[in-house]
Structure 1
């Protein structure tokens, strides 16, 4: 079993990494525009044409920098926490985001482009809270923890609606909601359980492997539940029949995250070796295609359109990839430490990402709808350039984009 990054308490930082921030690092006041001292040997006369042109060019650069700094914010400011953030989840109904931390607490923040405001701190678990999810209406929040407990909380009042103590024999690793009252959980020992808030015991319990259940997903029909495992196996469960439907071949890496595309007909699975595997829905035994997503471990992904996925992981960089055709689009955003989880807001305007730096950053991704509609299938791809291309949401600008208006 690989190292569980979700359990690290990251109090230290790597000073050798580049620290990307939302602020522009260019010091306008430090630009010296009075560097035209005349030589004693020169006759006293007005500035030459060359000097005038240089001053005008310098003025244009200053204007461009000031214009960049004066742009209105298009995303909420970052949230910095005292404790390591294990998971995050957007509410499906309003501007609310929940942050689960290693101390077992959940922090509820309200957000807009100008500020992020802490509304409530819920002390729910006695050990790390590993997963937090909202139900479809956004009025109930489910959490699962290393303490083996599963808790349902009323979002409006903060009061407990249900608590399943010792819900699993092993610590709970992942949780996935199935509507208003039903949800599934997977633990460190490969056990998956289906729950209904109206019942005190699980609907069923199935062992799918020996390693942790890293992620679970289903489509709108909710006939099959697909589970990714630390043993490199993809297992699907027939929810109606309460039995295993298929088991895939064993891959050479942990399967870490999943996403649905093309009206839920395509399933994308990420791995700890950076590979992406594409499956047709209901054909979970063997992938139909595979891609090298990145050289580092993929820890999380989020679909942003029917064709585009954003992935991140060990290198701290959020990358966008168009899957049909497969093409890297560039960098959505970046952290200076590994990214543990991603989520997308209910209106599709923002992605939030949390890293081992105890921070949550927001990225405005509204431009993806336009990009998705203008992808040229016949355009020759420059993979190296596209992998390093900073997209509009990134806090780092491409030099060619910044100076394009000065030509």
Structure 2
């Protein structure tokens, strides 16, 4: 799909949960909505400016009827999606710039600001229902664990914290040790049992919920710049529980598989502009992944071209267990070659006459050759160049690590 020009730098994007509608929050304070179709056509549905200050973050209600926008003005604006009009403004919702928002439940919204303050809001009530002040630097991202009714927040102070939204206590139930780096993004994988955190120095930190939130259990290097955004792929694709999309400040949107770790390829390229946010439409189960950076466009990339045309043809889908197929190929090669003569023995599909007619080579002039493993069919360039790798090793072209 062609890039959607928006007219100013984009800070955040959000998709309607069940319609082909995408929203963009701009540096100018304008919030725009665009409809799109599978043929790559798009149309602006509305453009509204709740404030002259920048819009840093967006969140959409569960039914898609309302859009919340917040940012430099410290207020939370509620926009009616059907009319494109601002229907409510919560002035001075925070004391400083609001950096991140996330809808947790149909009537619960979380917001985090540049001073590390987190507030929970019931849109039906005028004031915040919870306020947490245990972080001392900006809130970079939120994640909601529905099974435990817990909100997990990452912060620029180098820690993540876990809050039970059912508890009336104004303190977290857990907080990690200082990771000695800014934590910028967070995403659950493996059915929510493991948590991936993107950092300023380009490390993916892995937390295991069974091991507690005190410290990460693994650190995966490979990205040459900060990992500002993380996103899951639709569940219909193979290895969706361990394959993620990463948006980096080097302008590259990558598909990365974890356990074992390997770079699957580049999904989108924003050139020299850092990627601020990424999201998949239709509540994370759609066809398009949206990505925005510091350029004045909203980029939509077709995931079908990335995963269906290339990924599903690969025999090594299940975390490097494709050796079984390779062994089968080798076994078949051995069965069709006589080790004493190195002449090919006709199989059931080849008659003895074909051997005599030279269609099956049995020449004695050939030097004996050992049985060779058959090479797999060349894969899509996005996934080419794979090899057997060790644990937690990212495979990529040398240029991928050039700036490390």
Please state which band the TM-score falls in when normalised by the shorter chain. 0.7 to 0.9
Question: Are 1:338 and 2:274 an aligned pair?
Answer: yes
| Conservation of the 8 A alpha-carbon contact between 2:98 and 2:112 | yes
The answer for the alignment partner of 1:270 in structure 2 is 198
What is the alpha-carbon distance in structure 2 between the residues aligned to residue 220 and residue 229 of structure 1? 21
The answer for the alignment partner of 1:53 in structure 2 is none
Q: Which runs of 5+ in 2 are unaligned?
A: 234-239, 323-386
Query: How far 1:207 moved relative to its partner?
Result: 0.3
Question: Are 1:166 and 2:92 an aligned pair?
Answer: yes
Equivalent residue runs for 1:255-404 within 5 Å: 255-281=183-209, 283-304=212-233, 305-336=240-271, 337-346=273-282, 347-366=285-304, 367-368=306-307, 371=311, 374-378=317-321, 380-381=387-388, 386-387=396-397
Q: Which moved more, 1:221-230 or 1:210-219?
A: 221-230
| Conservation of the 8 A alpha-carbon contact between 1:177 and 1:183 | yes
The number of equivalent residue pairs is 315
Question: Are 1:87 and 2:12 an aligned pair?
Answer: yes
Equivalent residue runs for 1:114-129 within 5 Å: 114-129=40-55
The answer for the alignment partner of 2:23 in structure 1 is 98
After superposition, the C-alpha distances for 1:90-134 in whole angstroms (9 at most, x for unaligned) are 111100000100111101000112311111001112311000111
What is the alpha-carbon distance in structure 2 between the residues aligned to residue 319 and residue 244 of structure 1? 33
Using a 3 Å threshold, how does the CA distance of structure 1 residues 161 and 219 change in structure 2: closer, same or farther? farther
Q: Aligned with 2:396: secondary structure?
A: helix
Q: Which runs of 5+ in 1 are unaligned?
A: 1-75, 391-407
What is the alpha-carbon distance in structure 1 between the residues aligned to residue 296 and residue 49 of structure 2? 18
TM-score by length of 2: 0.74
The root-mean-square deviation of aligned C-alpha atoms, in Å, is: 2.2
The answer for the alignment partner of 1:241 in structure 2 is 167
Query: How far 1:190 moved relative to its partner?
Result: 0.9
Query: How far 1:219 moved relative to its partner?
Result: 2.0
Question: Are 1:179 and 2:118 an aligned pair?
Answer: no
Q: Aligned with 1:190: secondary structure?
A: coil
What is the alpha-carbon distance in structure 1 between the residues aligned to residue 26 and residue 297 of structure 2? 11
What is the alpha-carbon distance in structure 2 between the residues aligned to residue 293 and residue 200 of structure 1? 45
Equivalent residue runs for 1:29-40 within 5 Å: none
Using a 3 Å threshold, how does the CA distance of structure 1 residues 354 and 300 change in structure 2: closer, same or farther? same
What is the alpha-carbon distance in structure 2 between the residues aligned to residue 303 and residue 318 of structure 1? 12
What is the alpha-carbon distance in structure 1 between the residues aligned to residue 119 and residue 163 of structure 2? 11
What is the alpha-carbon distance in structure 2 between the residues aligned to residue 203 and residue 385 of structure 1? 46
| Conservation of the 8 A alpha-carbon contact between 1:329 and 1:389 | no
